[in-house]
Structure 1
Amino acid sequence: MVSVLVVDDSVVVRRLIVDALSADPGIQVVGTAPNGKVALSKIDMLKPDIVTLDIEMPVMDGLTTIKEIRKVHPRLPVIMFSTLTSVGASATLEALSSGASDYVTKPANVGSVAESIKSVREQIIPRIHALCRTGGPPRPPVRLAPRPAPAGPSGPRPAGGTGTPQVVAVGCSTGGPDALTKVVSALPASFPLPIVVVQHMPQVFTKMFAERLDRSAPLKVVEAGSGMAVQPGTVYIAPGDYHMEVVRRGGGVFTHLQQGPPENFCRPAVDVLFRSVADVYGGATLGVILTGMGQDGKRGSEGLVAKGAEIVAQDEATSVVWGMPGAVAGAGLAHSILPLNEISHHLINRVAGGRTARPRG
């Protein structure tokens, strides 16, 4: 049984969240709080397994509260409640960088109680179970994808990640904003490859995230638009509610956005991006699967590996949720399973023509 503390200044919203969670017999709401100050005292008293936390509250807001929680409870899962606005997106990204585990968006139509409860239930219950690691089948044994021996100096390079990479393709979800920020920020401004990214996020959030990452990373970071030339040293983040693909036209590669059906309940979806990357770049791809719920990216990784690409998966210990990287690793598609702080080093090493070497210190 997962115990939950619900924190929101609105009586209506607190009731809505409690009603939404009551649909799951494996979840029990053990308490509620109207602001962060009350929440901090109740966390010590009730010892919940997870906390849902509103951002805008009197007395002590959500941003201050998450920072205070992390001082005492560094591993307690916290899900933020956010609005689908620029202000809400900015505050949510700040909360994630301050240690929040994930977020859900508040229902737009609060006039329909049934629809609001359904929206909250569909968003939050899977996140609670994933973050608390409850339910689900046992993890399959992890197998590393075989690495072929390197070719001789004059012979053709074999498939399987030993050739010269031309692109980095990244997929991430829960915990992804912080993980992606750490990877991209550790790459030098001289990093010579384009990086195409699907991070599961709604509209508005992806634009704010790209702008925020662009300010902190040495590389140029943009929210992708359709028809953008894919250039070295630039990070392209798929916009919310659009699948992003890469297409070859003439002598160049360009982004293409489309609103086909969601895949793995997601739009943008990692599988859609990875399929297109496999078609355009084939084995000259470095695929990276970071922390996230579900299995998005597994089928796309299968296609990349079939073309001879290399796949790197984040390890379980450093993942907020080891769903996406765990699915890839468990299927034997990962050539390397690395802690988060080693992934950027691995990418730099591979681009320089070397193999994986553990960073010192």
Structure 2
Amino acid sequence: MNAILPAASPRTLHRVPVRVLMVDDSAVSRSVIGRIIDDAADVNLVSRVSSPDEAFAFLAEQRVDIILLDHEMPGRKGLDALPALLDAAHDAHVIMLSSHCQRGSKTAVAALSIGASDALAKPSAMDSGPEFAEQLLSRIRRLASARCQNSAEADRLILRPFPEGFAVHCIGIGASTGGIHALAELLSAVSARPGSPVLITQHLPAAFISHYAKQVARMTDMPVSIARDGEVLRDDHVYIAPGEASLSCIRDGAKVRARLIAERDMLSSARPSVNPMFAGMAQSYGAGSLGIILTGIGRDGTAGASAVVKAGGAVIVQDETSSTVWGMPGSAARAGLVSACLAPHEMPHYLRAHFGLG
């Protein structure tokens, strides 16, 4: 009999302007960002503070939707303050807005791994033009919109039973916004190697992937590499999708090889995309496929999850409460494709208890 997943408690929809807090010691930066946001009727910069301590004091009395956080500040740097800031801000999204967040930088990837929802570089000397303003407002609106979508869930969601005799031969993990932090929580709870290849698709630009791979390597004792087209997939090895192609796989006799797909996924428009990864797993490993969908904006992974389920495999997703954005996991759950809905740190224990995995 199918299990029933109770609906999460509703959240307040954004019928008022998005509330933004800016934390930056530069008066010039605060002024420039202030002018950008003042020109947007749907975004309200409720406070501009110059240090994390001032931010904590503000958040003790006020709620915000988005925090713009600089890194280089006197005393406590932004990255150092980020974990405590996320706790103090409850479910607010943090955008790391710093000159140290150039495309692909270590600081940007570190911020995302700690829990920031996005990272954006400030223009040099804050000589910002229309392009930067458009990028900043677009990211603020996208994150705020995703929070609204999270709250509009159906009253009850159906969980599929796991296939009888389910045994894992390949694991695929897909994620987007908030996914680096979620993956760290998942891998930190793994107590044993799974005995299968682990494929990871994280929505990131190509410039970020090398730093991301190094971050993942610090999360696990398994070998980690960026996937190469045609290489044989080995058990207990982590393969990461490169930023310029989706990672899939194809069976070659008794072996399974990595397959890189340069084209954007037609359904999600993403590259790399979770859909071809799951579809390749379904074709290559069939009923031995386990798909895991972590936090992320959009629907990428749902079509691929359907392929996994049709092949006799199983899909689990991150729950709404622990997700930065319950878009990708929520989409698969609403489609009736999910057999468990858990916080990332609970997944290894659950799989170990039920299937002797992880």
TM-score (norm 1): 0.81
Equivalent residue number for residue 139 of structure 1? 153
Quick check: 1:4–1:28 contact (8 Å CA) kept in 2?
Answer: yes
Partner of residue 106 from structure 1, selected from 121, 128, 144: 121
Quick check: 2:177–2:297 contact (8 Å CA) kept in 1?
Answer: yes
1:172-204: per-residue Cα shift (whole Å, max 9, x none)?
122211221222233245320111011112224
Quick check: 2:245–2:260 contact (8 Å CA) kept in 1?
Answer: yes
Alignment of 1:1-361 (within 5 A): 1=16, 2-10=18-26, 13-14=29-30, 17-18=33-34, 21=37, 25-44=41-60, 47-70=63-86, 72-73=88-89, 75-81=91-97, 83-85=101-103, 88-89=105-106, 91-98=107-114, 100-106=115-121, 113-130=129-146, 133-134=147-148, 138-140=152-154, 141-147=156-162, 150=164, 162-261=165-264, 264-349=268-353, 351-352=355-356
Quick check: 2:111–2:119 contact (8 Å CA) kept in 1?
Answer: no
Query: How much is the aligned-residue C-alpha RMSD, in angstroms?
Result: 3.0
Counterpart-to-counterpart distance in 1, 2:102 and 2:201: 19
Q: How many residues align?
A: 337
Identical aligned residues as a percent: 31
1:249-293: per-residue Cα shift (whole Å, max 9, x none)?
343222222321255242111112112222222222011111222
Counterpart-to-counterpart distance in 2, 1:259 and 1:108: 31
Quick check: 2:176–2:296 contact (8 Å CA) kept in 1?
Answer: yes
Quick check: 2:187–2:219 contact (8 Å CA) kept in 1?
Answer: no
Quick check: 2:290–2:308 contact (8 Å CA) kept in 1?
Answer: no
Gapped regions of structure 1 (runs ≥ 5): 151-161, 355-361
Equivalent residue number for residue 12 of structure 2? none
After TM superposition, give the deviation of residue 121 of structure 1 in Å.
2.7
Tell me the SS of whatever aligns to 1:192.
coil
After TM superposition, give the deviation of residue 107 of structure 1 in Å.
6.7
Quick check: 1:7–1:36 contact (8 Å CA) kept in 2?
Answer: yes
After TM superposition, give the deviation of residue 38 of structure 1 in Å.
4.3
Counterpart-to-counterpart distance in 2, 1:13 and 1:276: 46
Counterpart-to-counterpart distance in 2, 1:225 and 1:15: 46
Stretch deviating more after TM superposition (74-83 or 106-115):
106-115
After TM superposition, give the deviation of residue 137 of structure 1 in Å.
7.5
After TM superposition, give the deviation of residue 328 of structure 1 in Å.
0.9
Stretch deviating more after TM superposition (337-346 or 193-202):
337-346
Counterpart-to-counterpart distance in 2, 1:323 and 1:344: 22
1:229 counterpart letter in structure 2: V
1:319-358: per-residue Cα shift (whole Å, max 9, x none)?
222111111111111012223232112333455389xxxx
Counterpart-to-counterpart distance in 2, 1:42 and 1:252: 57
Report 1 or 2 for greater relative contact order, CA contacts < 8 Å, sequence distance ≥ 6.
2
After TM superposition, give the deviation of residue 120 of structure 1 in Å.
2.2
1:175 counterpart letter in structure 2: G
TM-score (norm 2): 0.81
Tell me the SS of whatever aligns to 1:170.
strand
After TM superposition, give the deviation of residue 48 of structure 1 in Å.
2.8
Counterpart-to-counterpart distance in 2, 1:33 and 1:65: 14
Quick check: 1:289–1:312 contact (8 Å CA) kept in 2?
Answer: yes
After TM superposition, give the deviation of residue 21 of structure 1 in Å.
4.7
1:286-317: per-residue Cα shift (whole Å, max 9, x none)?
11111222211111111211111111112222
1:17-40: per-residue Cα shift (whole Å, max 9, x none)?
445555764431112234435444
The verdict on how the C-alpha distance between 1:301 and 1:40 changes in structure 2, with shifts beyond 3 A counting, is same
